[in-house]
């Protein structure tokens, strides 16, 4: 009896469908590619002993997307969308790189300088500035949407286009390579044998969860997303709620930018975080948050991001060439949309009901 | 007189939803050329019956005959093909394209592959002439009033879908008297053309004005179908409520209670409060333990006045003093903190937050007052929800039910609960009984009087004079965005109507 009610609760939770999708992919992997789940311990000259394997890669490489999906969840829950997160990633990455760069200005960068493993700015300052850059971007988006009253898609499109230009301005049009080892820790380091990025995601998830579920912010965000006018009439400052969501999204983009640039040891205004906004939207939609706003689940969105990366790693390990990845992803999108359609849901609900659990069909 | 012909015959219709018997063995017939009122409290099964007839829901049991032929209505599209058309309370047409385009949408006449505009306008003009209303079909639909938009919807239903059966679902809710009469003219015309009309409404006056027969439903069961002429009004109400009328009788004129209890405490004073193109400067005082009734037709400025006092819009003239302090920053949040509450007129768009639960809807305003940091504990939330569900008699399976699943009357009570939870001093109710069944109406009226006796100042805005008179200590009358009169003590509806209509 207790188990039925747990299953019932699980089925009604927003995390259910992305979990189903994830399990399906893992089952596929188990059948087609038995070695997929192999884990091992490796000794790294810099970071010591740590775990490696496909599963670790999924979480390590997927961390930036998970972070961006967290921020995107709140934005979408207010009934908006943030198309600029990819560009925000690039801006933050550029900010980090330019502060590290030991040769400021137009000084010629020589091999000697680059191999010095030095930085121009103390690491805490770099981190702060990187996070601040993304947060300011989020504030800008939030201001456009909530105060200037511009449609979210249009408002964030501005930064989506301009942001990559700004990133290039910051790095003076160069792809900047970073030669500062402590900075690499975020994207490549390990804590207790697990990637640092996993801990960062867990930390931000916990922080965000506390913010939205232990204060009234979550309720306000959902309320705004469902009916902004009623929310305003109830005495809630719906503009500030939106502002907060976009700002948080920018903040998440900044952390993602930090991890990504650290991982690839460089900042590239054109390619850092390319198409991340679209993957993040997909992750949020997979997490069961409606594009029209309203009810959301942070955890479900993170699982959505995990699904996307599990899929990506699966496709790679099947030997599909990288340039065919987008085509393969299209199949994933198609499957997700079909799986989430009313038709499939009705079908699934009927199957579940026949199993004997007599929960109402309110879903 | 020859034997009436049945266009629609529904027999033994049964439909159940999980946990609810929505329709239980209901028979319903519609004759050719009759206006048939379908009445009942919320939850009586009116909308389910209509959904079955229009193919939105499939009945568990029972048969439907159209023109003596057994049919199965598979979908809303199918019902339209069969000649059954529905016009809803909220007009679902496109306001930004022309009247003609709306009427002809999907059937535009073409020439050389593109739309033959002049022919389309002619066709639309002819179609709308059938209702003898004066409309320029080339204008955007949004330029016209809701009443005209409804006529356009009817025209579309008749012309394009050549309906034999027309279902009007609360068409008069948002119309004023003049517009309602216009609609009734059209309905009579269609009736003469032999179209059967099912008319769903909460206004009993209108039922008696226009309907030939009345079918009463209660709790999913058929109470009966009656000739309007042979059913006295009191009996109809009794049948709808399924209870005796003494409760209603006891309620009228409780108001004549003594006002002698010393002088009343003034809570709100508006002096010359106005906003250009919205409300002419108004003087108004609100006192504790008193109900101020506001009478006025649609567009008389009554909603705008409520909005100004509550701070939806900031006024551009005059001053507003609440509790001795002049208001400088106008916002709902500010009003909330000052102890002013507003239950808005448009329940769906401005009141409920549909996908949130009953509990969340109830605590929303109180939480807004506390701010985002001081989140009410789940225990406190549940206590509040339970308290108000019980106090106001909100019918819901659980506090965790989505509020959009509740009936209109119960949604209204949830919004009332939201504001009562903040313990306001001044409660402004804009059309609190609109679209609410007779039973809930009485309850809401009684609640307003009770609240005023507990010391609250209530503003009761309604287009139904009867209830304004019943609940109010004073009545303010608005006309053409101006406050034109204020009465206290004995007034009758005739005086009010004259003031509203502008006759001396």
Kindly report, residue by residue over A134-154, the tens digit of the pLDDT.
999 999 999 999 999 999 999
Kindly state whether residue A40 falls inside one of the protein's structural domains. no
- pLDDT one-digit tens code per residue, B297-355: 666 788 889 999 999 989 999 999 999 899 999 999 999 999 999 999 888 889 999 99
Q: How confident is the model at residue A112 (pLDDT cuts 50, 70, 90)?
A: low
- Answer yes or no: is pLDDT of B135 > 90: no
Bridge partner residues of A77 (DSSP): none
Lowest mean pLDDT among A164-168, B173-177, B439-443, B492-496: B173-177
Q: How confident is the model at residue B251 (pLDDT cuts 50, 70, 90)?
A: very low
Beta-carbon separation of B350 and A220 below 8 A: no
Gap from B417 CA to chain A (nearest CA, Å): 12
Which 3 state secondary structure label does DSSP give B471? helix
| Domain termination residue (choose one: B423, B454, B474) | B423
| Domain termination residue (choose one: B249, B282, B307) | B249
Residues B404 and B428 in one domain: no
Helix (H) / strand (E) containing B363: helix B358-370
Instruction: Point out the residue among B333, B350, B367 whose CB comes nearest to the CB of A230.
Output: B350
Beta-carbon separation of B367 and A219 below 8 A: yes
Kindly state whether residue B344 falls inside one of the protein's structural domains. no
**Chain A residues contacting B via beta carbons under 8 Å:** 214-217, 219-220, 222-223, 226-227, 229-237, 294-295, 360-362
Kindly state the percentage of chain A with pLDDT values over 70. 91
Domain of residue B466 covers 265-339+424-504
* CB < 8 Å to B423, chain A: none
Nearest residue on chain B to A241, alpha-carbon basis: B372
* pLDDT for the residue B337: 93
- Answer yes or no: is pLDDT of B213 > 90: yes
Bridge partner residues of B275 (DSSP): B279
- pLDDT one-digit tens code per residue, A189-208: 999 989 999 999 999 999 99
Residues B414 and B490 in one domain: no
Residues B41 and B123 in one domain: yes
Q: A334 Cβ partners below 8 Å, 6+ apart?
A: none
Residues B212 and B289 in one domain: no
* pLDDT for the residue B256: 46
Instruction: Point out the residue among A214, A217, A234 whose CB comes nearest to the CB of B418.
Output: A234
Q: B16 Cβ partners below 8 Å, 6+ apart?
A: B22, B23, B60
Residues B117 and B192 in one domain: yes
Residues B271 and B419 in one domain: no
- Answer yes or no: is pLDDT of A94 > 80: yes
Residues B116 and B203 in one domain: yes
What is the rounded CA–CA span in Å between residue B287 and residue B282? 16
Kindly state whether residue A218 falls inside one of the protein's structural domains. yes
Into how many domains does chain A fold?
1
* CB < 8 Å to B306, chain A: none
* pLDDT for the residue B501: 66
Best mutation site among A233, A236, A357 for testing chain B: the one with the most B CBs within 10 Å? A233
Mean pLDDT, to the nearest integer, of B53-65?
A: 91
* pLDDT for the residue A244: 97
- Answer yes or no: is pLDDT of B276 > 50: yes
Nearest residue on chain A to B369, alpha-carbon basis: A235
- Answer yes or no: is pLDDT of A72 > 90: yes
- Answer yes or no: is pLDDT of B243 > 70: no
What are the Cα distances from residue B466, in Å, to A4, B423, B426, B476, B491? 54, 28, 23, 14, 11
Beta-carbon separation of A215 and B375 below 8 A: yes
Kindly state whether residue B254 falls inside one of the protein's structural domains. no
What is the rounded CA–CA span in Å between residue B474 and residue B486? 7
Q: How confident is the model at residue B216 (pLDDT cuts 50, 70, 90)?
A: very high
- Answer yes or no: is pLDDT of B177 > 80: no
* CB < 8 Å to A360, chain B: 18-19
Lowest mean pLDDT among A79-93, A151-165, B110-124: B110-124
Domain of residue A265 covers 56-299
Instruction: Point out the residue among A220, A227, A235 whose CB comes nearest to the CB of B354.
Output: A227
Helix (H) / strand (E) containing B494: helix B493-501
- pLDDT one-digit tens code per residue, A292-311: 999 999 999 999 999 999 99
Gap from B372 CA to chain A (nearest CA, Å): 5
Q: How confident is the model at residue B241 (pLDDT cuts 50, 70, 90)?
A: low
Lowest mean pLDDT among A235-249, B111-125, B244-258, B328-342: B244-258
Report which of residues A2 and B170 the model is more confident about: B170
Q: B378 Cβ partners below 8 Å, 6+ apart?
A: none
* CB < 8 Å to B342, chain A: 233
- pLDDT one-digit tens code per residue, B377-398: 999 999 999 999 999 888 888 9
Contact B349, A229 (CB under 8 A): yes
Cα angle vertex B71, ends A349, B54, to 5°? 60
Kindly state the percentage of chain A with pLDDT values over 90. 57
What is the rounded CA–CA span in Å between residue A222 and residue A74? 9
Residues B23 and B137 in one domain: yes
Kindly state whether residue B213 falls inside one of the protein's structural domains. yes
* pLDDT for the residue A35: 85
Gap from B363 CA to chain A (nearest CA, Å): 10
Q: Which residue has the tokens 């091999």?
A: A111
Per-residue exposure over A68-96, b if at least 16 CB sit within 10 Å of its own CB, e if not? bbbbbbbbbbbbbbbbbbbbbbbbbbbbb
* pLDDT for the residue A236: 95
Pairing verdict, β B474-479 and B290-295? parallel
Residue B100, burial from CB neighbour count under 10 angstroms (0-12, 13-18, 19+): buried
Residues B370 and B451 in one domain: no
Kindly state whether residue B160 falls inside one of the protein's structural domains. yes
Beta-carbon separation of A295 and B355 below 8 A: yes
Contact B400, B358 (CB under 8 A): yes
Into how many domains does chain B fold?
3
Helix (H) / strand (E) containing B500: helix B493-501
Query: What six digits make up the tokens of A73?
Result: 């969840």
Q: B178 Cβ partners below 8 Å, 6+ apart?
A: none
Mean pLDDT, to the nearest integer, of A211-236?
A: 95
Nearest residue on chain A to B19, alpha-carbon basis: A360
Lowest mean pLDDT among A139-143, A223-227, A304-308, B466-470: B466-470
Residues B17 and B100 in one domain: yes
Predicted ipTM of the assembly: 0.86
- Answer yes or no: is pLDDT of A66 > 70: yes
Beta-carbon separation of B333 and A236 below 8 A: yes
**Tell me, what DSSP letter sits at residue B143?**
G
CATH classification at residue B472:
3.40.50.300
* CB < 8 Å to B355, chain A: 222, 226, 294-295
**Chain B residues contacting A via beta carbons under 8 Å:** 18-19, 312, 331-333, 335-336, 342, 344, 349-356, 360, 364-365, 367-376, 402, 405, 418
- How many Cβ pairs closer than 8 A exist between chain A and B? 77
* pLDDT for the residue B174: 65
Beta-carbon separation of A231 and B344 below 8 A: no
* CB < 8 Å to B373, chain A: 215-216
- Answer yes or no: is pLDDT of B457 > 60: yes
Best mutation site among A227, A235, A350 for testing chain B: the one with the most B CBs within 10 Å? A235
Q: Which residue has the tokens 């205004």?
A: A269
Lowest mean pLDDT among A96-100, A234-238, B152-156, B302-306: B152-156
Mean pLDDT, to the nearest integer, of A317-321?
A: 86
* pLDDT for the residue A106: 56
- pLDDT one-digit tens code per residue, A233-252: 999 999 999 999 999 999 99
- Answer yes or no: is pLDDT of B244 > 50: no
- Answer yes or no: is pLDDT of A48 > 90: no
Beta-carbon separation of B369 and A235 below 8 A: yes
* pLDDT for the residue B252: 43
Cα angle vertex B217, ends B214, B218, to 5°? 145
* CB < 8 Å to B351, chain A: 230, 233
What is the rounded CA–CA span in Å between residue B67 and residue A119? 88
Gap from B198 CA to chain A (nearest CA, Å): 30
* CB < 8 Å to B417, chain A: none
Beta-carbon separation of B349 and A295 below 8 A: no
* pLDDT for the residue A167: 94
Beta-carbon separation of B373 and A230 below 8 A: no
The pTM assigned to this predicted structure is 0.75
Nearest residue on chain A to B334, alpha-carbon basis: A235
Secondary structure of A185-232 in HEC code, one letter for each residue:
HHHHCEECCEEHHHHHHHHHHHHHHHHHHCCCHHHHHHHHHHCHHHHH
Nearest residue on chain A to B356, alpha-carbon basis: A223
- Across B384-500, the runs of DSSP E, i.e. the strands, are 426-430, 457-462, 474-479, 482-488
Residues B113 and B176 in one domain: yes
* pLDDT for the residue B19: 59
Mean pLDDT, to the nearest integer, of B240-261?
A: 50
Best mutation site among A211, A234, A350 for testing chain B: the one with the most B CBs within 10 Å? A234
What is the rounded CA–CA span in Å between residue A131 and residue A139? 12
Kindly state whether residue A83 falls inside one of the protein's structural domains. yes
* CB < 8 Å to A215, chain B: 372-373, 375
Beta-carbon separation of A235 and B333 below 8 A: yes
Mean pLDDT, to the nearest integer, of A322-336?
A: 85
Kindly state whether residue A173 falls inside one of the protein's structural domains. yes
- pLDDT one-digit tens code per residue, B69-99: 999 999 888 888 888 988 876 667 788 888 8
Secondary structure of chain A in HEC code, one letter for each residue:
CHHHHHHHHHHHCCCHHHHHHHHHHHHHHHHHCHHHHCEEEEEECCCEEEEEEHHHHHHHHHHHHHHHHHHHHHHHHCCCCCCCHHHHHHHHHHHHHHHHCCCCCCCCCCHHHHCCCCCCCCHHHHHHHHHHHHHHHHHHHHHHHHCCCCCHHHHHHHHHHHHHHHHHHHCCCCCEECCCHHHHHHHHCEECCEEHHHHHHHHHHHHHHHHHHCCCHHHHHHHHHHCHHHHHHCCCCHHHHHHHHHHHHHHHHHHHHHHHHHHHCEECCCCCCCCHHHHHHHHHHHCCCCCCCCCCCHHHHHHHHHHHHHHHHHHHHCCCCHHHHHHHHHHHHHHHHHHHCHHHHHHHHHHHHHCCCCCCCCC
Instruction: Point out the residue among B19, B353, B373 whose CB comes nearest to the CB of A360.
Output: B19
Kindly state whether residue A177 falls inside one of the protein's structural domains. yes
Kindly state whether residue B258 falls inside one of the protein's structural domains. no
Residues B363 and B459 in one domain: no
Instruction: Point out the residue among B350, B351, B365 whose CB comes nearest to the CB of A235.
Output: B365
Residue B134, burial from CB neighbour count under 10 angstroms (0-12, 13-18, 19+): exposed
Query: What six digits make up the tokens of A14?
Result: 């927003």
* CB < 8 Å to B333, chain A: 235-237
Beta-carbon separation of B344 and A233 below 8 A: yes
Which 3 state secondary structure label does DSSP give B299? coil
Q: Which residue has the tokens 């198309």?
A: A83
Mean pLDDT, to the nearest integer, of A79-108?
A: 85
* CB < 8 Å to A235, chain B: 332-333, 335-336, 365, 368-369
| Domain termination residue (choose one: B249, B284, B317) | B249
Q: How confident is the model at residue A362 (pLDDT cuts 50, 70, 90)?
A: very low
Beta-carbon separation of A232 and B332 below 8 A: yes
For residue A75, which of A253, A231, A216, A207 has the smallest C-alpha distance?
A253
* pLDDT for the residue B503: 53
Which 3 state secondary structure label does DSSP give B86? strand
* CB < 8 Å to B368, chain A: 220, 234-236
* pLDDT for the residue B1: 47
Helix (H) / strand (E) containing B115: strand B114-115
Kindly state whether residue A63 falls inside one of the protein's structural domains. yes
Lowest mean pLDDT among A104-118, A273-287, A330-344, B485-499: A104-118
- Answer yes or no: is pLDDT of B257 > 60: no
Kindly state whether residue A343 falls inside one of the protein's structural domains. no
Best mutation site among B368, B401, B404, B422 for testing chain A: the one with the most A CBs within 10 Å? B368
What is the rounded CA–CA span in Å between residue B166 and residue B205? 21
Mean pLDDT, to the nearest integer, of A55-60?
A: 92
Kindly state whether residue A9 falls inside one of the protein's structural domains. no
Q: What is the mean pLDDT of chain B?
A: 85
């Amino acid at each position: 009896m207790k188990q039925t009610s747990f299953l019932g609760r699980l089925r009604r939770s927003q995390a259910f469908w992305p979990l189903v999708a994830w399990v399906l992919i893992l089952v596929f992997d188990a059948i087609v590619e038995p070695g997929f789940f192999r884990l091992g311990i490796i000794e790294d000259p810099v970071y010591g002993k740590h775990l490696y394997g496909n599963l670790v890669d999924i979480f390590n490489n997927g961390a930036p997307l998970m972070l961006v999906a967290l921020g995107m969840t709140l934005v979408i829950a207010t009934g908006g969308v943030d198309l600029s997160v990819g560009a925000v990633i690039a801006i933050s990455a550029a900010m980090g790189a330019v502060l590290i760069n030991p040769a400021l200005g137009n000084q010629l960068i020589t091999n000697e300088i680059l191999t010095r493993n030095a930085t121009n700015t103390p690491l805490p300052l770099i981190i702060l500035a990187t996070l601040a850059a993304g947060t300011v971007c989020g504030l800008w988006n939030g201001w456009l949407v909530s105060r200037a009253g511009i449609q979210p898609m249009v408002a964030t499109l501005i930064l989506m286009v301009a942001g990559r230009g700004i990133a290039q301005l910051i790095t003076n049009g160069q792809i900047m390579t970073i030669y500062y080892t402590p900075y690499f820790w975020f994207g490549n380091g390990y804590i207790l044998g697990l990637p640092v990025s996993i801990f960062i995601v867990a930390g931000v998830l916990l922080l965000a969860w506390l913010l939205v579920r232990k204060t009234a912010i979550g309720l306000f965000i959902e309320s705004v997303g469902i009916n902004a006018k009623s929310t305003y009439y109830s005495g809630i400052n719906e503009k500030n709620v939106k502002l907060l969501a976009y700002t948080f999204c920018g903040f998440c983009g900044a952390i993602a930018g930090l991890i990504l640039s650290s991982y690839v040891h460089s900042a590239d205004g054109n390619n850092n975080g390319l198409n991340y906004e679209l993957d993040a939207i997909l992750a949020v939609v997979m997490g069961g948050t409606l594009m029209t706003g309203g009810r959301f689940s942070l955890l479900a969105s993170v699982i959505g991001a995990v699904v996307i990366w599990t899929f990506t790693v699966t496709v790679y390990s099947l030997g599909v060439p990288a340039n065919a990845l987008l085509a393969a992803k299209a199949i994933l999108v198609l499957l997700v949309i079909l799986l989430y359609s009313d038709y499939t849901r009705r079908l699934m609900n009927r199957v579940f009901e026949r199993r004997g659990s007599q929960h109402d069909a309110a879903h | 007189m020859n034997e009436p012909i049945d266009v629609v015959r529904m027999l033994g219709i049964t439909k159940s939803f999980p946990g609810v018997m929505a329709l239980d063995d209901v028979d319903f017939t519609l004759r050719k050329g009759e206006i048939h009122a379908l009445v009942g409290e919320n939850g009586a099964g009116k909308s389910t019956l209509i959904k079955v007839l229009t193919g939105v829901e499939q009945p568990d049991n029972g048969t439907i005959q159209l023109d003596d032929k057994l049919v199965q209505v598979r979908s809303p599209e199918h019902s339209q093909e069969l000649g059954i058309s529905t016009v809803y309370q909220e007009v679902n047409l496109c306001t930004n394209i022309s009247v003609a385009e709306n009427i002809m949408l999907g059937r535009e006449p073409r020439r050389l592959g593109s739309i033959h505009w002049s022919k389309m306008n002619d066709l639309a003009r002819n179609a709308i002439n059938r209702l003898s209303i004066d409309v320029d079909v080339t204008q955007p639909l949004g330029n016209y009033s809701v009443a005209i938009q409804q006529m356009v919807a009817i025209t579309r239903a008749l012309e394009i879908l050549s309906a034999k059966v027309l279902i009007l679902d609360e068409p008069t809710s948002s119309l004023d008297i003049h517009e309602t009469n216009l609609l009734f003219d059209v309905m009579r015309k269609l009736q003469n053309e032999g179209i059967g009309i099912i008319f769903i409404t909460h206004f009993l006056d209108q039922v008696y004005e226009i309907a030939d027969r009345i079918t009463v439903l209660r709790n999913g069961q058929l109470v009966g179908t009656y000739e309007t002429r042979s059913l006295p009004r009191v009996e109809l109400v009794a049948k709808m409520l399924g209870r005796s009328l003494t409760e209603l009788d006891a309620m009228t004129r409780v108001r004549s209670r003594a006002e002698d209890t010393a002088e009343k405490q003034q809570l709100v004073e508006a002096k010359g409060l106005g906003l250009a193109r919205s409300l002419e400067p108004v003087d108004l005082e609100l006192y504790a333990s008193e109900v101020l009734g506001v009478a006025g037709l649609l567009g008389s400025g009554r909603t705008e006045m409520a909005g100004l006092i509550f701070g939806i819009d900031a006024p551009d003239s005059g001053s507003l003093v609440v509790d001795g302090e002049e208001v400088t920053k106008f916002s709902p949040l500010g009003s909330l903190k000052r102890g002013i509450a507003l239950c808005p007129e448009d329940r769906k768009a401005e009141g409920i937050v549909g996908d949130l639960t009953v509990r969340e809807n109830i605590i929303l305003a109180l939480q807004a007052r506390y701010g985002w940091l001081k989140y009410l504990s789940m225990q406190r939330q549940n206590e509040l929800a339970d308290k108000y569900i019980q106090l106001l008699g909100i019918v819901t399976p659980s506090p965790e039910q989505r509020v959009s699943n509740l009936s209109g009357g119960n949604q209204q009570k949830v919004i009332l609960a939201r504001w009562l939870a903040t313990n306001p001093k001044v409660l402004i109710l804009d059309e609190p009984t609109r679209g609410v069944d007779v039973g809930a109406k009485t309850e809401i009226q009684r609640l307003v009087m009770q609240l005023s006796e507990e010391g609250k100042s209530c503003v009761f805005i309604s287009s139904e004079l009867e209830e304004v008179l019943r609940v109010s200590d004073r009545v303010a009358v608005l006309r053409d965005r101006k406050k034109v009169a204020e009465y206290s003590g004995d007034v009758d509806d005739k005086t009010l109507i004259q003031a509203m209509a502008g006759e001396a």
